[in-house]
């Protein structure tokens, strides 16, 4: 039984019981008044792994000591550096190692994948996405439509929540797909919505898109490292993500891409560069492109090693923790605890705190999005002044994500007490 008030000692007991609690020690927390801040923005920028500095230093030292020879003789030879990510990323998104590649940044990868998977022909030119998608994704989709000479007003179909609702119903996405039917070229949805925290049903959406003969892909910025994924078995055509949110790889760190193996040797259009060329003959420097025949065929340039070193260090922590599947159990417990804490505070202070994120586990990750009716910005400012790092999104949402690798039940209880204090 949880007590009706918020208890730090009760939270500490939960931390002691949890076998993954010690992973917190692998991360560095921003400080507030000489103590760890209460950091709940791993959905925006994950914390720095303590191993990050050594990971970068290793590459700097090898560069210093070896110069160009580091391509072959570095401890992690740069020539094959990107290959070190395949097994890790395959685990993160539920793919075969040949279906994933660490490269570029998220929006760049979205464009590169749309070049292949948004290929309007005749009357099949429409894209379905969710309303209030992350702005960068919307810009990418609209500019792709323009690039192909389409009409952005009619070719982009955005699925909204129903009147008076915050979340998008699966049935509404499916019926839109069925209605657009043969005019549908591509479905591209954010796996977890950045604003509401809603997790969409990747398998069902993909099936529906395929039934209409369309391609289906997902932006997994808020899903990668947060939710166990199964892109290969669900036959998702393409996906991309960033590594600086739940994957803790540092600001602007390298992104990732997934291309289902059924497309590796197809004749989809693609933008190409030398790092997608068959590696056996890449350095013969032949004028003609021979594809790697894997997701690496979409890779253009050699790996940005200094940037990727942190990503590798971070992925090793995921592996040590047993992968996203193990972490997910803890994430659900932490997020449920946060939800219960917010509800207690609402009851104790008589405030209307509305969590718009679905309460059902199948439809959410770590993040909770909360509307504090009538108490928006000033509440947020009070929390910030008291060492709580959360984020605010206009018009009125406070987003907070307890991350299973480094947040604790105690963090949440402390947050609850500060929230209660703020509202009293
Ligand atoms: C974070 C995020 C982005 C950011 O794009 P970058 O290209 O990495 O700057 C784009 N789309 C979504 C859905 C995001 O959550």
What is residue 1's predicted lDDT score, i.e. its pLDDT? 46
The token duo for 133 is: 């998608």
Instruction: Give the pLDDT confidence score for residue 175 in this predicted structure.
Output: 98
Distance CA 372, CA 398 (A): 8
Residue 266: is its pLDDT beyond 50? yes
- How far is residue 90's CA from residue 296's CA, in Å, rounded to a whole number? 13
Percent of residues, the chain, with pLDDT higher than 90: 92
DSSP 38-92: EE-BTTTSPPEETTHHHHHHHHHHHHHHHGGGHHHHSSS-GGGGGGGGHHHHHHH
Cβ 324 vs Cβ 227: under 8 Å: yes
Euclidean distance between CA atoms 306 and 295, whole angstroms: 22
Query: pLDDT > 70: what percent of the chain?
Result: 99
Q: Is the pLDDT of residue 328 over 80?
A: yes
Instruction: Decide whether any atom of ligand 1 lies within 6 Å of the 318 Cβ.
Output: no
- Which of 103, 139, 242 has the most ligand 1 atoms within 8 A of CB, as the residue to mutate? 242
Using a 6 Å cutoff on CB, does residue 202 contact ligand 1? no
Mean pLDDT, range 298-319, rounded to an integer:
98
Question: Tens of pLDDT along 355-414?
Answer: 999 999 999 999 999 998 877 788 888 999 999 999 888 777 899 999 999 999 999 999
Q: Are 221 and 318 in contact (CB under 8 A)?
A: no
What domains, with CATH codes, occur in the chain? 8-36+323-423 (3.90.1150.10), 56-320 (3.40.640.10)
**How many CB atoms within 10 Å of residue 169?**
12
Separation between Cα atoms, residue 238 and residue 243, nearest integer Å: 17
112-166 tens-digit pLDDT? 999 999 999 999 999 999 999 999 999 999 999 999 999 999 999 999 999 999 9
Ligand 1 pocket check for 136: Cβ under 6 Å: yes
> For residue 63, how far is its CA from the centre of ligand 1 (angstroms)?
31
- Write down the mean pLDDT value for the chain: 96
- Model confidence over 83-101: pLDDT tens digits? 999 999 999 999 999 999 9
- What's the 242 CA to ligand 1 centre distance in angstroms? 7
Instruction: Tell me the mean pLDDT in the region 282-299.
Output: 93
The answer to whether 353 and 374 have CB atoms below 8 angstroms apart is no
Structure tokens at 386: 């008291």
CA of 43 to the centre of ligand 1 (A): 11
| Distance (Å) from CA 91 to ligand 1 centroid | 21
The answer on pLDDT for 338 being more than 80 is yes
Q: What is the pLDDT of residue 2?
A: 54
Q: Residues 247, 315: contact at Cβ < 8 Å?
A: yes
Q: Which band of pLDDT confidence, cut at 50, 70 and 90, is reported for residue 5?
A: confident
């Amino acid at each position: 039984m949880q007590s009706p008030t918020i208890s730090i000692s009760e939270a500490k007991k939960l931390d002691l019981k949890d076998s993954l609690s010690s992973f917190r020690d692998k991360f560095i927390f921003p400080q507030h008044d000489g103590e760890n801040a209460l950091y709940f923005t791993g959905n925006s920028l994950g914390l720095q792994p303590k191993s990050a500095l050594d990971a970068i230093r290793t590459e700097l030292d090898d560069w210093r000591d070896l110069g160009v020879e580091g391509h072959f003789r570095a401890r992690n030879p740069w020539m094959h550096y990107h290959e070190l990510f395949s097994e890790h990323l395959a685990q993160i998104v539920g793919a075969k190692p040949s279906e994933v590649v660490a490269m570029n940044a998220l929006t760049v990868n979205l464009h590169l994948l749309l070049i292949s998977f948004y290929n309007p022909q005749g009357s099949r030119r429409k894209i379905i996405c969710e309303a209030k998608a992350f702005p960068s994704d919307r810009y990418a989709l609209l500019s792709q439509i323009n690039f192909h000479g389409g009409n952005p007003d009619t070719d982009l179909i955005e699925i909204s929540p129903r009147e008076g609702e915050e979340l998008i119903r699966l049935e509404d996405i499916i019926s839109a797909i069925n209605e657009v039917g043969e005019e549908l070229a591509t479905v591209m949805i954010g796996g977890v919505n950045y604003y509401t925290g809603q997790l969409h049903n990747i398998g069902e959406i993909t099936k529906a898109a395929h039934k209409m003969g369309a391609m289906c892909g997902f932006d997994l910025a808020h899903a990668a490292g947060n939710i166990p994924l199964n892109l290969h078995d669900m036959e998702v055509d393409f996906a991309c993500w960033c590594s600086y949110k739940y994957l803790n790889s540092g600001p602007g760190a390298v992104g990732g891409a997934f291309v289902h193996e059924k497309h590796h040797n197809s004749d989809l259009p693609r933008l190409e560069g030398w790092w997608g060329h068959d590696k056996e003959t890449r350095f013969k420097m032949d004028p003609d492109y021979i594809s790697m025949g894997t997701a690496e065929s979409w890779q253009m340039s050699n790996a940005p090693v200094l940037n990727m070193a942190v990503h590798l260090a971070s992925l090793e922590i995921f592996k040590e923790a047993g992968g996203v599947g193990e972490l997910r159990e803890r994430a659900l417990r932490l997020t449920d605890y946060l939800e219960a804490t917010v509800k207690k505070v609402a009851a104790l202070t008589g405030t209307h705190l509305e969590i718009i994120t679905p309460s059902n586990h199948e439809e959410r990750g770590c993040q909770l999005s909360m509307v504090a009716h009538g108490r928006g910005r000033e509440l947020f400012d009070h929390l910030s002044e008291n060492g709580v790092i959360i984020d605010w999104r206009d018009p009125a949402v406070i987003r907070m994500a307890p991350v299973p690798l480094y947040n604790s039940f105690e963090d949440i209880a402390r947050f609850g007490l500060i929230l209660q204090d703020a509202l009293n």
